């Protein structure tokens, strides 16, 4: 019998636990899963809950519905804020959420069930891998609105795509197809829309089947590669390898391999 996932549901988002895999889902498809103040609070609460479940190795980030992953900030809510500084408070809070996704202990897979615009594109850059519906569209809309990126997604885009490709997306505010996004490296995998969740869970389970010490090590190595020059990053790689070479997990796997070889002899 398949075990049913354990879910924590809020008005704007929900967190499902599937053993070593968790799914964090934006839950307002009727407004394209836009982010409002209540959404930020939900994400903060659910990520804090996730921090207390160290057995989760992989997190799948997705949206509800078949049209939109996330269309960025809720402009209607922002337009009704009389006190403009309160609107500005959203930026550092969302930046911290994206930092938590990128630099936290779980591998994060973006399961892009639909299109992403503006801040939604920023959100997807914080994922380590991105799997998208083949019908999805993507656009960094900030320039068309007289804004720049405010959640850290601009800098991530430069690291992800390089200067020229990132500037092309940011300066033009063009909308690109899922195929174009894959070809330029913004998206890693394309699947039919109805297969996004199952494909993301399948990928997550393949990753989660590996040793957590290695998964955390490769995340640390990815961070060093993107934030440090060559020699310091090489030192990090050597240190990570040495720690795992001397750790219990590797030698337990070696002993298990020896036992299997002995049985095959």
User: What does the DSSP assignment read for 110-161?
Assistant: EEE-SEEETHHHHHHHTSSEEEEETT-EEE--GGGGT----SSHHHHHHHHH
Is a pLDDT exceeding 90 seen at residue 48? yes
pLDDT value for 10 = 85
pLDDT value for 3 = 59
Q: Lowest-confidence range among 19-28, 127-136, 164-173, 256-265?
A: 256-265
Q: Tell me the mean pLDDT in the region 238-258.
A: 95
> What does the pLDDT look like over 156-188, one tens digit per residue?
999 999 999 999 999 999 999 999 999 999 999
Is a pLDDT exceeding 80 seen at residue 35? yes
The pLDDT confidence band at residue 1, using thresholds 50, 70 and 90, is: very low
Is a pLDDT exceeding 90 seen at residue 81? no
> What does the pLDDT look like over 226-247, one tens digit per residue?
999 999 999 999 999 999 999 9
Q: Model-level pTM?
A: 0.94
Q: Tell me the mean pLDDT in the region 93-98.
A: 97
Categorise residue 239: left if φ over 0, alpha if ψ from -120 to 50, beta otherwise.
alpha
Q: Domain residue spans in the chain?
A: 6-208, 212-264
Q: What is the CATH number of domain 6-208?
A: 3.90.226.10
């Amino acid at each position: 019998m398949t075990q049913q996932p354990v879910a924590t549901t809020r008005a704007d988002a929900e967190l499902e636990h599937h053993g070593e895999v968790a799914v964090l889902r934006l839950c307002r498809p009727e407004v394209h899963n836009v982010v409002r103040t209540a959404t930020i609070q939900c994400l903060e609460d659910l990520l804090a809950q996730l921090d207390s479940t160290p057995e989760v190795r992989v997190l799948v980030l997705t949206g509800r519905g078949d049209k939109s992953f996330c269309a960025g900030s809720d402009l209607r809510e922002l337009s009704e804020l009389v006190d403009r500084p309160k609107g500005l408070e959203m930026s550092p809070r969302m930046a911290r959420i994206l930092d938590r996704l990128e630099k936290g202990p779980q591998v994060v897979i973006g399961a892009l069930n639909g299109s992403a615009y503006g801040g939604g594109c920023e959100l997807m850059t914080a994922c380590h891998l991105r799997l998208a519906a083949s019908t999805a569209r993507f656009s960094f809309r900030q320039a068309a609105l007289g804004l720049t990126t405010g959640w850290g997604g601009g800098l991530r885009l430069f690291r992800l795509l390089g200067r020229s490709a990132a500037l092309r997306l940011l300066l033009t505010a063009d909308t690109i197809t899922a195929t174009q996004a894959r070809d330029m490296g913004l998206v890693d995998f394309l699947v039919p829309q109805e297969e996004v969740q199952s494909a993301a869970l399948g990928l997550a389970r393949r990753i989660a089947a590996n040793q957590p010490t290695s998964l955390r090590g490769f995340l640390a190595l990815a961070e060093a590669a993107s934030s440090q020059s060559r020699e310091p990053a090489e030192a990090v790689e050597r240190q990570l390898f040495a720690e795992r070479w001397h750790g219990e997990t590797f030698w337990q796997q070696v002993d298990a391999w020896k036992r299997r070889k002995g049985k095959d002899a």
